[in-house]
Amino acid sequence: MGLIVAVDAGGTKTDCMVGTERGEVLARAWAGPANLQVSGPQAMRAEILAAVAKARAQLPAGDETFDVLFVGAAGVARPGDREEVSALLKETGVAGKVVVDNDAVIALAGGTLGQPGVVVIAGTGSIAFGVNARGERARAGGWGYVLGDEGSAYDIGRQALASVMRASDGRGEPTALCDAILQHFKITSPDDLVGLVYQKGLGRADIAGLAVLVAEVARKGDRVARRILRKAGTELGAAAASVVRKLGMGSEAVLCVTSGGVFRAGELVRRALVRELAKTCPACEVVEARFPPVVGAYLLGIQEAGSRITGRVVENIEDSLFRPV
């Protein structure tokens, strides 16, 4: 029996697992971040192959032939992107069959186990993506940090930093984010953020990492922090609503799966999302993703290998999966 290798190549890390068509997970490994639009196809291929090699090294000798490689990758937005990355991976001979799709597709599959629905991903970036019962797809958002990743952790972190500057120079409301962010970076004045951001190269991941801190400050009741999180949730809900409309599912009991670190930052984001989405889709059900995206890639890989996703397969995965990240 052949093996499936599944990859979630994301902006923060590349997550890889190997398993059988029956859902028995045999290996899991990680490599560095890879976003097609940001790093380009060669860097993406390198990270994917690095993760696959690490996972392969965990397999018992002999078990090294992969039937299917299924990759969900950040920044894969246009049809040409899928073919480009797929061709680059095919020529390495890593698996008999190579399928590349975007990371939203695998996040949805990890949440709905292959059923129709909508996924809202809010990690470093953000996107809403859905598939209806006719197999039609739609997306909204997911355009990156310049063109718009409203509701993403980066967006939340950047707004927190901007709020600190607004408060510090009297343009905006005072906020406990000031002290929290100064302590976080071990600096004494908001002015020090300038050097930190523009000279010491505080990166997008560092800024996205502030979302956790915003959630903490919001829990203590800070109005500015709470407003940032509510706005993020509303933006994410608007993206989900747009997908629901495009797929003609407004009157259905749509399963809306949330995925990504922003939803672990507290209830405010989720509640605002539910409120906004309910305007378009009153019967929607908003749930957390059951599995991480890499398992979605694995499930889709099992289908590509010609097997069905049965309850037994899902149970096997739950029994054998390393702790979900």
Distance CA 137, CA 151 (A): 21
Part in contact with its own copies (CB under 8 A); list of ranges 4-12, 36-44, 267-275, 292-300: 36-44
214 makes contact with its own copies (CB under 8 A)? no
- The residue assigned the tokens 């192959």 is 49
Among 90, 143, 264, 324, binds its own copies (CB under 8 A): 143
Question: What is the per-residue DSSP string for 79-139?
Answer: HHHHHHHHHHHHTTT--SEEEEEEHHHHHHHHHHTT-SEEEEEESSSEEEEEE-TT--EEE
193 makes contact with its own copies (CB under 8 A)? yes
320 torsion bin: left (phi>0), alpha (psi -120 to 50), beta (else): alpha
150 makes contact with its own copies (CB under 8 A)? yes
194 makes contact with its own copies (CB under 8 A)? yes
Lay out the sheet containing 117-122: strands in order across: 137-141, 126-131, 117-122, 255-259, 285-288
Among 22, 90, 245, 264, binds its own copies (CB under 8 A): 245
187 makes contact with its own copies (CB under 8 A)? no
Single-letter code of the amino acid located at 322? F
Part in contact with its own copies (CB under 8 A); list of ranges 63-71, 102-110, 163-171, 222-230: 163-171
Task: For its own copies, give the closer residue by CB, 114 or 157.
Answer: 157
**Geometric angle at alpha carbon 11, from 9 and 16, rounded to 5°:** 25
Distance CA 37, CA 146 (A): 12
169 makes contact with its own copies (CB under 8 A)? yes
The sign one gets for the Cα dihedral 33, 36, 40, 45 is positive
Nearest residue to 160 via CA among 265, 242, 80: 265
Please report, as residue ranges, which positions from 56 to 95 form the binding site for its own copies (by CB under 8 A).
75, 77-78
Among 141, 233, 292, 293, binds its own copies (CB under 8 A): 141
136 makes contact with its own copies (CB under 8 A)? no
CB atoms within 10 A of CB 166: 17
46 makes contact with its own copies (CB under 8 A)? no
Task: For its own copies, give the closer residue by CB, 179 or 315.
Answer: 179
Nearest residue to 15 via CA among 206, 296, 259: 296
Part in contact with its own copies (CB under 8 A); list of ranges 24-32, 107-115, 170-178, 281-289: 170-178
Task: For its own copies, give the closer residue by CB, 119 or 239.
Answer: 239
Distance CA 248, CA 26 (A): 40
Part in contact with its own copies (CB under 8 A); list of ranges 106-114, 116-124, 232-240, 309-317: 232-240
DSSP-assigned letter for residue 74: B
CB of 188 to its own copies, least distance (A): 13
96 makes contact with its own copies (CB under 8 A)? no
Site size toward its own copies (CB under 8 A) is 40
Q: Say if residues 267 and 237 touch (Cβ distance below 8 Å).
A: no
246 makes contact with its own copies (CB under 8 A)? yes
Among 64, 83, 191, 288, binds its own copies (CB under 8 A): 191
CB of 112 to its own copies, least distance (A): 21
CB atoms within 10 A of CB 285: 12
- Which residues bind to its own copies, rule: CB under 8 A? 37-38, 40, 75, 77-78, 139-141, 143-144, 146-148, 150, 158, 161-162, 164-166, 169-172, 191, 193-195, 197-199, 202, 207, 235, 238-239, 242, 245-246
